[in-house]
């Protein structure tokens, strides 16, 4: 056997061993990422939720494994009836815009003693951000981000509230990273019925298929 052939065979064996070692590590990372999540939507009913009474809301229905929020005048939404943590937790929501031009899954959630809303595609569809921070809406504070959403396309929203931070992602893109120190988080009046945790649309038809929550360790 030539020296070159021996080296090639050795390289292949090293590669195989390396891949075999990486696979358990990858599985461990996936398992860790999935750990602790609790599903808040069973895919069949509105158990644990109620239609939000905004006034002028559209019909809320469950079909094909989704919660469909039909177009209202102006808002349609659902509000969680269970107990919500106020700090150190994470939300994971999958939603899509079925029809319309504005936000299709605005998420209202606790931030300590206050509340905030993550608005995807508000102000005519082009703005994503957090409302409100120190009295300023998502369209006018440091979280303002342009993002183009396509109709009938699923997007994954992840929101993390810790003692120090409020962070939000759309899919894998970080959209907001806010230090909580010296910040006041509040809601616009029309969103108030979504407290403590709700999902709503604005003059738009949206659908939600995943709603998950997991609690995070408090700062030591």
Token pair of 159 as six digits: 């929101």
18 and 93 part of one domain: no
> Residues 21, 27, 166, 102: is their CA dihedral positive or negative?
positive
Q: What is the mean pLDDT of residues 83-99?
A: 98
Question: For residue 13, is pLDDT > 80?
Answer: no
**Tally of domains in the chain:** 2
15 and 100 assigned to the same domain: no
Statement: residue 39 has pLDDT above 90: yes
Query: Do 9 and 54 fall within a single domain?
Result: no
- For residues 145 and 93, membership in a common domain is answered with yes
Q: 28 and 73, same structural domain?
A: no
In a shared domain, residues 108 and 191: yes
Residues 132 and 102 in one domain: yes
Residue 11: the pLDDT is 56
Query: What pLDDT, on a 0 to 100 scale, did the predictor assign at position 14?
Result: 47
The pLDDT, as a whole number, for residue 27 is 43
- Interval 15-38: pLDDT, tens: 454 545 566 544 444 445 568 999
In tens, the pLDDT along 44-83 reads 999 999 999 999 999 999 999 999 999 999 999 999 999 9
Q: What is the pLDDT of residue 81?
A: 98
Q: How confident is the model at residue 219 (pLDDT cuts 50, 70, 90)?
A: confident
Residue-wise pLDDT tens digits, 168-196: 999 999 999 999 999 999 999 999 999 99
Tell whether 10 and 65 lie within a shared domain: no
Global confidence as pTM: 0.85
Q: Are residues 190 and 138 in the same domain?
A: yes
Contacts of 201 (CB under 8 A, 6+ apart): 58, 69, 71, 72, 75, 76, 77, 100, 102, 103, 104, 105, 106
pLDDT at 85: 98
Same domain, residue pair 175 and 102: yes
**Are 108 and 207 members of one domain?**
yes
| 166 is a domain residue | yes
What is the residue range of 125's domain?
A: 38-215
Indicate whether 220 belongs to any domain.
no
pLDDT, one tens digit per residue, over 98-157 is 999 999 999 999 999 999 999 999 999 999 999 999 999 999 999 999 999 999 999 999
> What span, in angstroms and rounded, lies between the C-alpha atoms of 171 and 156?
5
CATH number of 85's domain:
2.60.120.560
pLDDT at residue 220, rounded to an integer: 74
61, 68 contact by CB (below 8 A): yes
Look at residue 3 in the predicted model and tell me its pLDDT. 54
Do 187 and 87 lie in one domain? The reply is: yes
């Amino acid at each position: 056997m030539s020296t070159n052939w021996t080296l090639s065979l050795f390289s292949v064996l090293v590669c195989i061993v390396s891949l075999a070692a990486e696979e358990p590590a990858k599985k461990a990372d996936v398992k860790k990422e999935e750990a602790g999540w609790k599903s808040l939507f069973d895919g069949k009913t509105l158990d644990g939720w109620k239609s939000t009474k905004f006034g002028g809301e559209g019909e809320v229905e469950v079909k094909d494994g989704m919660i469909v929020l039909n177009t209202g005048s102006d808002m349609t939404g659902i509000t969680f009836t269970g107990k919500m943590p106020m700090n150190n937790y994470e939300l994971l929501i999958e939603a899509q815009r079925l029809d319309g031009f504005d936000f299709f899954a605005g998420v209202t959630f606790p931030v300590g003693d206050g509340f905030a809303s993550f608005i995807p595609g508000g102000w005519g569809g082009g703005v994503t951000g957090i409302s409100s921070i120190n009295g300023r809406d998502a369209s006018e504070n440091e979280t303002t981000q342009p993002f183009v959403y396509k109709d009938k396309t699923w997007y994954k929203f992840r929101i993390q509230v810790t003692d120090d931070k409020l962070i939000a992602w759309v899919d894998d893109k970080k959209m907001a990273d806010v230090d909580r120190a010296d910040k006041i988080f509040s809601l616009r009046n029309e969103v108030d019925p979504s407290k403590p945790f709700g999902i709503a649309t604005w003059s738009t038809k949206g659908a939600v298929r995943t709603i998950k929550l997991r609690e995070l360790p408090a700062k030591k």
